[in-house]
Structure 1
Amino acid sequence: MNALHLTLDTGVALPGEPVLKIGASVWWPGQVTQVTTLLLCLPGGNMNRRYFDLRAPDGDDSFSFAAQMSARGFIVAALDHLGLGDSSKPRDGWQLSAEVLVQANIDATAELLARVHQGRLHPDLPALSGLRSIGVGHSMGAMLTILQQHAARQHAAVVLLGFSTRGLPEYAPPAVKDVADPLAVRPQLATIAKTMFGQPYPLIHGQGAGNERGSNAELFGSKKADPRGIAALKAATDCLLPIPAAMSMMPGNVAPEAAALDVPVFLGIGERDMVGPAHRVPAAFTGSHDLTLYILPEAGHSHFLFPARTRLFNRLSAWLRALDGEPAPSMR
């Protein structure tokens, strides 16, 4: 697997800030001339882009989405949201609404794809003018993937992991969980987020495989989470972005945009995920004529920590190749 780490310019300018940049990583297989697909990945709440390249202390790369999917013949790219990882971190983090994050990700995606299509990304990558992009998002990153696709239609399909438009009403304050019209609440999210979190870049503590409900136990879901994966996850843990986090908790969070998606949708959900009843999740995607639900057995919210991750990588690989009629390669 080859890797490149870089920053990408955006057209987003906030008051008192220079033009903002997005931290990105790209991984690709040794042979790229036959590659047809780039997976553009967005991490979830309080995670940076390293979530898609989890590396165990013993070197095991089976937790790494980037390593496993590039080995299956795909180019994988991951972005840091503004405020996280290597992306620009505005002094006033309360300016980082979902709309600002989405626009920055749209700009970074367009720049990245242009470089890949024109052969300007890396000397080892020839021009891949026919390469299509697939949006991949986990948790809050899936919500932002939906919003990005709705706004810019950059992807041929989307892969949404650990997400539903149900939100997280059990954790949300009344101002969010009891709303009748989520669209009407969006202008109030900054005020709601300030009340909920108090600071623009809060750190979330108490993550652990054995923690009880309310201490992010659903992040792991059960003791079947591999301790090596949990150790690797620490390197990807970052601060939280309160406004999009509050939005993701709200029932019906991006329901209008989800219903408008008209591209193929792959829904990956852990059997012990945080999304509510898994079989109810597809009902939100009424505009897609190609909808797949895959439930990872005995997995919690952070899917890559569980034994079922290999099944997910194989199933997703087969689904991606079926989009253009290619047979799936055999993988052990």
Structure 2
Amino acid sequence: MRTVDVDIDVAPEVGQQAGLTTAATICLPDEVPADPVICFAFTGGGYNRSYFTRDLLGDGTPSQAELHTSRGWIFVAVDHLGCGGSTRVRDMAEVTWQHLVDANESTVRGVLRLLSAPGGRDDLPTVESARVLGLGQSMGAALLILQQGQNHTFQAVGVLGWSARHAVSWLPPGAPRSTPVYFPRGTDVGVMTRALHTTAMPEMAPDEHGLPATASGFHYDDVARELVLADLVDYPLRRGRLPFWATDVIPPSSMTMMSPGAVAAEAAMIRAPVFVGVGERDVAPHPRSEPAAYLQSSDVTVYMQPCMGHMHNFASTRLTFWNRIHAWAEGVLLEPAPITAGIDMATAGAS
């Protein structure tokens, strides 16, 4: 797998400070097919694009990007606005969900322009037509639902580790749980912060190792203890040493994503095929009820992976999960769409 890092200017679309860019890694197969799948992957809160592109366990198994590119896909891992390698925003409290969605939409368009420009860059192939897929994990999945419902960007979408109805953290049986706090989209960050400070959240109280009760939902029992500690001590603030897959920035507006029905309106607008992929322990309490959220999609697949927590790519069963995603995508992405420098993404994703 060959990788090319790019920065995409998103300032005009986002309307925030000048000079804003998002960072993406374009992962290329050894030989690019005539009509490849171009897969855009968006990370969860607290993680950067290395979550998709690198060997997280250090055991020599391929990353998710390597598995897909070995079968001919172009895989594009994206850092959200203000996170990871993307430009730091002066005040993340001013970054709304809509800013994040607009930045991701602009990133997709920018990468497709790079890939469709004949002779545009020596380190990138020229792609005339492709099948365009969106994958999102956790917060990235919530943002993907919003993006697809608003713009119909992709020909199919994989919603990984999220619920379009109500995302709820998995906790061990009998563990105390706080009462959900409802934040309408657009709620002032200061209002949300004050509300959370006055709400008891026993599931986030650290144990003697600094791990919250939610840790067993993030990582299944067979994940190495040292890996769990590296990932979740001080999560989500990550005030200590950052592992290579992590970012210490989570948009404060993401606090609204745990509200019931936070992305329901956009989910109901999605027409493309949807893959709902969750671990045995995940934030979708009733996975089999998820298809009801996608009212306009005629093709909704639900897959529940045993021996997997919310952070899928750390799980011992991750290869099985990725293979299932790949087989599903190849099955539903039958017709390539033209890729041009001025691509109309609404048309490309209108299948």
User: How high is the TM-score relative to the length of structure 1?
Assistant: 0.83
Verify: 1:299 aligned to 2:298, yes or no. no
Match of 1:330 in 2: none
Of structures 1 and 2, the one with the larger relative CO (CA 8 A, separation 6+) is 2
- For 2:347, the equivalent position in structure 1 comes to none
Distance of 1:108 and 1:263 partners within structure 2: 20
Aligned length: 311
Residue correspondence of structure 1 range 153-172 to structure 2 within 5 A: 153-165=152-164, 166-168=166-168
Is the 1:119–1:125 Cα contact (8 Å) retained in structure 2? no
User: Please, which runs of 5 or more residues in structure 1 have no aligned partner?
Assistant: 199-203, 327-332
Quote the offset at 1:66 in angstroms. 0.9
Contact conserved, 1:85 with 1:238, CA < 8 A, in 2?
yes
Q: Find out whether 1:151 has 2:150 as its counterpart.
A: yes
Among residues 223, 226, 231, which one is paired with 1:225 in the alignment? 223
Partner of 2:284: 275
- The one-letter amino acid paired with 2:318 is R
Q: Which amino acid aligns with 1:271?
A: E
How far apart, in 1, do the equivalents of 2:116 and 2:250 lie? 32
2:152, 2:270 within 8 Å by CA — same for their partners in 1?
Answer: no
Contact 2:97 2:143 in 1 (8 A): yes
Paired amino acid for 2:131: R
- Measure, in 2, the Cα distance between the counterparts of 1:207 and 1:19: 42
Corresponding residue for 1:288?
297
CA distance in 2: counterparts of 1:207 and 1:143, whole angstroms = 29
Q: Which residue of 1 aligns with 2:200?
A: none
Give the AA of the match of 1:136: L
Structure 2 CA distance for partners of 1:133 and 1:94, relative to 1, 3 Å: same
Q: Which residue of 2 aligns with 1:329?
A: none
The one-letter code of the counterpart of 2:19 is V
Q: Distance in 1 between matches of 2:120 and 2:107?
A: 13
What is the deviation of 1:35? 4.5
User: Residue 239 of structure 1: CA displacement?
Assistant: 2.4
Counterpart residue number, 2:46: 46
| Equivalent residue letter for 2:328 | W
- 1:1-332 to structure 2, matched below 5 A, reads 1-10=1-10, 11-12=12-13, 14=15, 17-56=17-56, 58=58, 60-62=60-62, 64-119=63-118, 122-165=121-164, 166-168=166-168, 177=180, 179=182, 185-195=184-194, 211=211, 213-214=213-214, 216-220=215-219, 222-226=220-224, 234-325=243-334
Q: Match of 1:67, as an amino acid?
A: E
Matched residue of 1:275: which SS?
A: coil
State the 1:111 CA deviation: 0.8
Go from structure 1 to structure 2 and tell me whether the alpha carbon gap of 1:259 and 1:131 turns closer, same or farther (over 3 Å shift): same
Q: CA deviation at 1:264?
A: 0.3
Partner SS for 2:159: strand
1:294 is displaced (CA, Å) by 0.9
Alpha-carbon shift at residue 33 of structure 1 (Å) = 2.9
- Deviation larger for 239-248 or 109-118: 239-248
Which stretch shifts more, 44-53 or 242-251?
A: 242-251
- The 1:206/1:37 distance shift into structure 2, 3 A limit, reads farther
- CA deviations on 1:205-224 (whole Å, 9 max, x unpaired) are 9699995624x33111x222
CA distance in 1 between partners of 2:208 and 2:128 (Å): 44
More moved, 42-51 vs 236-245: 236-245
Q: Retained in 2: the 8 A contact 1:35–1:75?
A: no
C-alpha displacement of 1:151: 2.1
Residue 300 of structure 2 aligns to which amino acid in structure 1? L
Q: 1:19 to 1:56 in 2, by over 3 A?
A: closer
Aligned-partner SS, 1:109? helix
Counterpart code for 1:213: A
Which shows bigger deviation, 113-122 or 273-282? 113-122
Equivalents in 2 of 1:217, 1:240: separation in Å? 23
- Three-state SS of the structure 1 residue aligned to 2:276 is strand
Q: Distance in 2 between matches of 1:95 and 1:302?
A: 28
> Does the Cα contact within 8 Å between 1:37 and 1:133 map onto a contact in 2?
yes
Q: Please report the TM-score for the alignment, with normalisation by the length of structure 2.
A: 0.79
Q: What is the CA–CA distance in structure 2 between the aligned matches of 1:53 and 1:205, rounded to whole Å?
A: 31
CA displacement 1:27-82 (0-9 Å, x = unmatched): 011010335211101101111111112324746143x2111111122110011111
Identity %: 28
Cα distance in 1 for residues equivalent to 2:152 and 2:34: 24
